[in-house]
Amino acid sequence: MFKTFNMHFYYTVPPNLHPVVQVVTSMMINFFIVLPVSIGLFFWDNAKQLIEKKQYPEPKVILITGASSGIGAAFAKEYAKSGITLGLLSRNRERLQEVAEECEFKGAKCYIIAADIKDYDTLKEVLEDFDNQHPIDLLFANAGISGIEGDYVWTETWRKVIDINLSGTIATVMPIYERMKRRKSGQICINSSIFSYFSPPLAIWYGATKSALNKFTHDLYYVASKYNVRVNLLVPGSISTNMIGNDPSSIPPTYLAKILKKQLEDNVFCISYPFYQNLYYYILSTLPKRVSLLVSSTFAKMIMKSHDLN
């Protein structure tokens, strides 16, 4: 019994020392392993670009979910020009019509698809119907909601947020991925968030679904690469959209759309914009759990106070 106790003690670290051990271990691994590998990849990627100079064909048929406003609408307008076919999918037909009119003015051909991505059977049907008529070159899975509320609503929003942000996105991606896989061509971009790295407690459902999408996209990238299907992850920061009340101090979605278009052309896997916000939240995600709990709780109190959610 004494030996068993000693063995169990040997394999653990006192809880009070966990943050210190985690920080020291992380520093050593980053300095001696991650940093040299990152420097090597920097030179490798740049040399590969100079030697190969690979050019990907411009997408002619693009389907966008959550296209009625914000990032989705800006993305549609950025791609809109003569020779481009846009499938605009959202629940709000009126706002889709407004976006379509702007895109058609630039010369694009637009198809309005009024559908709810929580209705997975209908979603699959409309996606496949559109793809039958116009084989999709680029799918932008962008639809999502925040679900960030005070704790009086917090416990009631989980199903809706998961149904839209996670299940709805996967239900959007998979039918089109299977078709791109058979065609051995295509590109899929999935919209995540900086909250996928780190988020305050009141954003639990939003942060959890976006974290899950990061993992889904990462694995899909590997699986799809064997079939010449490109997969990209968008991790936007604070962008001025309906989700955050069109905050004028945030980045306009038109700026993001331009960056996104260029980096999709270059097939950058993780598109982080603005980068400084991504860096800040990424650093927060690497904190030891004990420190992370303290920061997260403080963050939540600040949000509740500023939005009067107490």
**What are the boundaries of each domain within the chain?**
56-147+155-286
Averaged pLDDT, 18-35: 91
| Gap between the terminal Cα atoms of the chain | 51
Of the pLDDT bands very low, low, confident and very high (cuts 50, 70, 90), residue 96 is: very high
Bridge partners, residue 139, by sequence: 63, 188
Fold annotation for 56-147+155-286:
Rossmann fold (3.40.50)
- Per cent of the chain over pLDDT 90 is 68
Tens digits of per-residue pLDDT, 128-139? 999 999 999 999
Tokens 């305050």 — which residue? 200
Bridge partners, residue 114, by sequence: 90
pLDDT at 147 (0 to 100): 74
Q: pTM, whole model, 2 decimals?
A: 0.89
Give me the helix-helix angle, 289-307 and 18-29, nearest 10°: 100
230-236 and 187-191 strand pairing: parallel
Task: Calculate the alpha carbon distances from 67 to 4, 64, 223, 244 in Å.
Answer: 60, 6, 27, 17
Do 96 and 67 meet the contact criterion of CB atoms below 8 Å apart? yes
Do 207 and 195 meet the contact criterion of CB atoms below 8 Å apart? yes
